Amino acid sequence: MYALETKGLSVDFNGFKALTDLDFTLEKGELRVILGPNGAGKTTFMDLVTGKTKPTKGEILFNGKKITRMSPSDISSMGIGRKFQGPNLFENLTVTENLEIAYKGSNGVFSSLLFRKKKEMKNQLEEILYQIGLYERRYDDAAVLSHGQKQWLEMGMLLAQDPELVILDEPTTGMTAEETFKTGELVQSIFKGRSVIVVEHDMAFVRQIAKKVTVLHQGQHLAEGSLAQVERNKKVQEVYLKE
């Protein structure tokens, strides 16, 4: 059984085909990079998987269960977590408070959690703080973190939700080369064992993390394989030369 499978997934926006007949599979525990030029349909694909956009036709299966027309909140509680490109945290709360809000089952009302649960949460969040390299910054407001640290905190918030499938939308946007490299290390370490989809442009980053790559173009599946295989693919070369 696949972690994620789509069959004939299509969506058109008033006649514009943003995604056409996409058959896609992701193994459990696999890390997949989705590549493609601007407008290829990458964001639309992720919007469909997370329920933000409803398909015109086709199916989406998560662990073999149909999630095609489920609401974003039901899909999220089934175990699909997404980190968007832009900053999406509470600047006026501390690093730890941001993680508490994201924590699975907290529903934002962590004050009402049982003592035992609170202790369990504290231990897990401490572990996450170490993993994302922000333990020393745990009492600082998120606002004073660097751009890279904010992104890592958001990755920690995603981890605190304990999703089975992690979706990262262009996680290195706006980062320095050094921050990008650290992000690559984090993606590979903190989400180990989970299924991960990364949408990304930065080729140095893709080279660092990618095992298998799927290339989309004009809403269609263009190529798939190792990065080396995909880079040798004539159709892929043509698309990127035209950019």
The residue ranges that bind ligand ADP (CB under 6 A) are: 13, 16, 18, 36, 38-44
Give the residues across from 195 on adjacent strands.
165
**95 close to 129: Cβ distance less than 8 angstroms:** yes
Residue 154 CB partners (closer than 8 Å, separation 6+): 83, 87, 88, 89
- Measured from the CB atom, the residue of 52 and 104 that comes closer to ligand ADP is 52
- Measured from the CB atom, the residue of 84 and 90 that comes closer to ligand ADP is 84
- Measured from the CB atom, the residue of 34 and 99 that comes closer to ligand ADP is 34
- Measured from the CB atom, the residue of 102 and 199 that comes closer to ligand ADP is 199
Residue 220 beta carbon to ligand ADP: minimum distance, rounded to whole angstroms: 11
DSSP three-state, residue 57: strand
Residue 125 CB partners (closer than 8 Å, separation 6+): 96, 99, 100, 103, 160
Residue 18 beta carbon to ligand ADP: minimum distance, rounded to whole angstroms: 4
- Measured from the CB atom, the residue of 32 and 42 that comes closer to ligand ADP is 42
Q: How distant, in Å, are the alpha carbons of 79, 148, 207, 224, 225 from that of 157?
A: 14, 14, 25, 30, 30
Residue 223 beta carbon to ligand ADP: minimum distance, rounded to whole angstroms: 15
Q: Are strands 65-66 and 57-62 parallel, antiparallel or unpaired?
A: antiparallel
Residue 134 beta carbon to ligand ADP: minimum distance, rounded to whole angstroms: 29
- Measured from the CB atom, the residue of 11 and 67 that comes closer to ligand ADP is 11
Residue 198 beta carbon to ligand ADP: minimum distance, rounded to whole angstroms: 13
Residue 35 CB partners (closer than 8 Å, separation 6+): 42, 200, 201, 206, 213, 214, 215, 216, 230
CA dist., res. 114 & res. 128, Å (int): 21
